[in-house]
Amino acid sequence: MTLLLATFYQILQMLLVLALAPLLTGWVRLVKARLVGRRGPSMAQPYRDLLRLLRKEVVLARNASWLFRAVPYMMFTAIWLAAGLVPVFTTQLALAPTADLIALIALLGSARFFLALAGMDTGTSFGGIGSSREMMIAALAEPAMLMIVFSVAILVRSTSLAEIADFMLSGAVGLRISLALALIALVMVAIAENARIPIDNPATHLELTMVHEAMVLEYSGRHLALVEAASMLKMLLYMALIACVFAPWGMATAGSGVAAALGGVAVFVAKLAVGGTLLALFETSIAKMRVFRVGEFLGGALLLSLLGAIFLYVSRGV
Amino acid sequence: MGLVVSAIAFLFAVAVLGAAAKRLPQASTVVYGGTAAACALIALWAALRLAGGGPDAALVLPVGLPWIQAHLRADALSAVFLIVVNLGGITASLFGWGYERAHHDSHSGPQGGSQDGPVLPLYPLFLAGMNMVLIAADAFTFLLSWEFMSLASWLLVLSTHREPETPKAARLYIIMASFGTACLLLAFGVLATAHGDYSFAAIRDHAPAAGAAALVVVLILLGAGSKAGLVPLHVWLPLAHPAAPSHVSALMSGVMTKVAVYAMIRVLFDLLGEPDWWWGGVTMGFGALTAVMGVLYALMQDDVKRLLAYSTVENIGAIVIALGLALVFKAAHTPVIAALALAAALLHVVNHSLFKSLLFFAAGAMLTATGSRDLNRLGGLIHRMPTTAVLALIGATAISALPPLNGFVGEWLLFQAILNAPALSEWSLKIEIAVVGAALALATALAAACFVRLYGIAFLGRPRSRAAGEAVEVGRAMRLGMAVPAVLCVVLGVLPTPLIRLFEPALRLLVEAGPFDGRAYQPWFWLAPTSAIGNSYNGLIMLVVIALLSVVLVLGIHRKASDRVRWSIPWGCGFDGPDPAAVTQYTASSFGQPIRRAFGSTVFRARDHVDMPAPGDTRPARLSVTWTDPAWVVVVEPLSRAVGWLAEKANRLQFLTIRRYLTLMFLALVVLLVMVAVTQR
């Protein structure tokens, strides 16, 4: 019975993240437009964009291989699964024991690995630029992310996200310097991984600065729709992850009933709205960085997270 | 045990046969077939032994030094490594057979192609040597087998002596190998001093005192570390491993380094008795340095096989980190976690031997098909060599530690062990482990970048040379040789628990605990090791869910979306002509540039020099990259200067008079007698 309910919640969550991801992107765009004094498109615009792309024909570079056509599906599946693993409205998820935080990071790593390969498949210079920059950014962002996981895992004595959320909900944590360091580092990593300002600008096609867009430049039609949807999902995933680890309030736990789960959904939507607003505020108040300064930015994130982990390693005798 | 010894004897017979009949066309079939059969026999024996339990197999042969005899023994640890070595031997023989034939047909074969003579007899000897190291149970037999293994592989490296770089690689290799053997010799000398008995059983019973043990730890890290490729003793490895024919490269990089790991485990965990906490600290530190430096080196290589050899350095680093952790936890009397770390090390040993062999085979296939191993002359091979491309993709994904393949499982176990560090009592160790964890994470992320670069440049994009554009898929034997490790990579990633269970006797032997001790009940296909931190991972469910989601996705998209496809020429940055790829496509160096700039400028003093002609000048612009290996500056050059100086001094001894020679001998005798007198008192 519990497993059945957990499976139901799992499926519900997979659908929920899928449905909400474009909405979040629309919301961030809308808030950004308002902040700079434009009216901005409707929040439903990302849905329309995706549907329009799905209806268009696919234009493939003449020497694109099967890998190029398979990658959007592989990447979307990996990110979708990862998003399904982060508890958003309840910690009672059927897949929770299958993969912990480390596996989740590795899943995102797989998505990036294949997308970077796809960027190199057509043999144009833009794809190469994008892939090589993306892998450079990942080389720093991924260890920073793992150090954050270490900090949290030491504190909670688990790398399972459901257990982390349960522990944080129990209120036994209090305020901790290491957690604050980890939160800052996680936000920095999230900004870099989602190709947001100041690391990358999702709205430009300027060859000197673009990273993510350069990789997916040759995609069109349904492939592009999948790639775009996957990056929307990824942004939602990172917000859900931050919410799950650092602000799990309002989430239902095992055995707290269906009403609590429904409440959890409402609270999650509210969290996304707040997160999106904060992201838009941040992005409008800062300028884009040079690509080679990204190393310093993420090196900072890595050091912060390592410092947080060391504090915990030293202070905590288990 | 008799079976293993007969199989090794059979390998010797095959070698003799190969030497006698090397001109005959069937020679390669006999040699590779015979080697594969012998390897299969030993691997099967070891697997049954591990699964079935029972007492250790032992045998004393009346050969060797007159009063010592040769002690042979295969315990659980030997069995694990016997499986690794012989599994590698089977696939390498399969691949080598096809490789040999492919290069035999085209006599003007490229590097690795001119194997007319020496490879056939030496190849089984090399495998025999490695097997002998694993079953040796006294210091004399061990060192003899070790040296045999080194010499056989050295001669195999020399088999490509027509290549301009080979002599240099071989010279460096023989120097480093001699250095390593000398260190091991001294280490065993120290170990045996207590009672003068060289058998492992006697050494085990009389563990040396703290001071002597410290010396042995350092010597074994130098001796076995130089063979495994620990930074800064790795310099010979990226020169020597790629120089041999590809299937031998695979054995040297994927398997021989594991024999060195075996030597480390045997001495540090078994012979030396109870460890001190700093042993693990030092080991781990070397491992972390090796992992990060290895992958950074790999990122700057344009030669496929050299890149793979450097990547071996990185993976050995990860294994040595796991060994260090296991030592630390063993010293802290938390055997279950020590078992977890050691299981991670053994799992990574198996994993690396699989995917590194696979990738070296793929490099060999590329070499066969295009005649080049320079990344900047490859490209677009996914169209020309579809099977190799798929198998190499599995290898690249596995070595980048991506789920649900096997590389990730090893990494996951290792991270789980690292997470237990707060349970330790030493402050310095806690901080060190946090830093080592960060270094390991960094190395893993860089490895992914490295293999995106390798795969993307070699297999994707457009051909960078005519040969790459006209490549043809390699033969069936070579494809099968690659397919076997590829399938195992997937299977072990999805179902790692049976293999870890197979390690259990070895773990009990070394740290007196199993990795699954005391955990809550879970069905057998769950990976949920005991630790202070309760976690689990399940590759099987992950794979099933991924497959399910993909099906849903593909069906959903293809029902709703337009499936019209148009093929077109991508924009070539304004360059005209049918194929602008030659000018505009990203090269291996351009791909590596951001990472080189972010990491290499301090460590390697990597510099880009741009020579830009003035406006109006029509000569081409030129970009050159330089970098220096700090290990050469710090270790190799002083070492070679010292060796040169010593040789110079020793040279004078040749020209002494008889009277001086006699004086020298007399003095030596006096010194020895004084030493005996002092130690006897």
Q: Is B446 on the interface with A (CB under 8 A)?
A: yes
What's the pLDDT at B211? 83
Distance CA A264, CA A281 (A): 26
Chain B residue with CA closest to A145: the answer is B441
* pLDDT bucket at B115, cuts 50 / 70 / 90: very low
Q: Does A277 touch chain B (CB under 8 A)?
A: no
Residue B643 contacts A, CB cutoff 8 Å: no
Share above pLDDT 70 across residues of chain B, in percent, rounded to a whole number: 94
Q: How far is CA A112 from the centre of its chain?
A: 12
**pLDDT greater than 90 at residue B464:** no
Nearest CB to A136: which of B455, B563, B595? Answer: B595
Contact A292 B597 (CB under 8 A): yes
Q: For position B106, what pLDDT does the model report?
A: 52
**pLDDT at residue B578 in the model:** 57
Summarised one tens digit per residue, pLDDT across range B276-303 is 889 999 999 999 999 999 999 999 899 9
Is a pLDDT exceeding 50 seen at residue B107? no
Q: Comparing B579 with B79, which gets the higher pLDDT?
A: B79
Higher pLDDT: B668 or B632? It is: B668
Q: Nearest residue on chain B to A219, judged by CA atoms?
A: B570
H/E stretch holding B71: strand B70-74
Question: Residue B99 and residue A36: Cα distance in Å, rounded?
Answer: 65
pLDDT over threshold 60, residue B112: no
Average pLDDT score over chain B: 88
Residue of higher predicted confidence among A76 and B27: A76
Do B573 and A125 lie within an 8 Å CB cutoff?
Answer: yes
Q: What is the pLDDT of residue A243?
A: 93
What ipTM, to 2 d.p.? 0.95
pLDDT in tens, A168-179: 888 777 667 888
d(CA B619, CA B366): 34
Mean pLDDT, chain A, integer: 90
- pLDDT over 80 (residue A207): no
Q: Tell me, what's the pLDDT at B114?
A: 44
Query: Do the chains contact at A318 and B594, CB–CB below 8 Å?
Result: no
How far apart, in whole angstroms, are the C-alpha atoms of residue B347 and residue B339?
A: 12
pLDDT > 90: percent of chain B: 53
Q: Is the pLDDT of residue B608 over 60?
A: yes
DSSP A32-89: HHHHTT-----TTHHHHHHHHHHHSPEEEETT--HHHHHHHHHHHHHHHHHHHHS-SS
CB A153 within 8 A of CB A179: no
Q: Cα(A87)–Cα(A100) distance, rounded to whole angstroms?
A: 11
Instruction: Give the pLDDT score at A190.
Output: 94
And the tokens for B668?
């030596």
pLDDT band at B548 (very low <50, low <70, confident <90, very high): very high
**Contact by Cβ (8 Å): B272, B219:** no
CB nearest to A73's CB, from B383, B554, B591: B554
Q: Does A99 touch chain B (CB under 8 A)?
A: yes
**Mean pLDDT lowest among A79-93, A212-226, B129-143, B559-573:** B559-573
Top pLDDT among B89 and B425 is at B89
Residue B317's pLDDT band (cuts 50, 70, 90): very high
> What is the per-residue DSSP string for B207-263?
PPPHHHHHHHHHHHHHHHHHHHT-TTS-TTHHHHHHHS-HHHHHIIIIIIHHHHHHH
**B376–chain A Cβ distance below 8 A for any pair:** no
| Sign (positive or negative) of CA dihedral A45, A47, A48, A49 | positive
Mean pLDDT value of segment B145-158: 93
User: Residue B579 has what pLDDT?
Assistant: 60
Q: Do B560 and A123 touch (CB under 8 A)?
A: no
Q: Scan residues 111-140 of A and list those with Cβ closer than 8 Å to B.
A: 112-113, 116-117, 119-125, 127-129, 131-133, 135-136, 138-140
Q: Which of B24-33, B467-476, B543-552 has the highest mean pLDDT?
A: B543-552
Higher pLDDT, B424 or B280: B280
The pLDDT, as a whole number, for residue B532 is 47
- What's the pLDDT at A179? 87
Question: Where is pLDDT greater, at B348 or A154?
Answer: B348
User: What's the confidence (pLDDT) of residue B108?
Assistant: 42
**Which residues in A lie closer than 8 A to residue B572 (C-beta atoms)?**
124
The pLDDT of residue A58 is above 50: yes
Top-confidence range, A112-116, A193-197, A261-265, B596-600? A112-116
> Does residue B109 carry a pLDDT above 90?
no
Residue B670 in this model has a pLDDT that exceeds 60:
yes
Contact between A60 and B565 using a beta-carbon 8 Å cutoff: yes
For the cut 80, the answer to whether the pLDDT of residue B46 exceeds it is yes
pLDDT of the residue at B133: 96
**Is B445 within 8 Å of A140 (Cβ atoms)?**
yes
> Which pLDDT band, with edges at 50, 70 and 90, does B576 fall under?
low
Tokens of B631: 């290990």
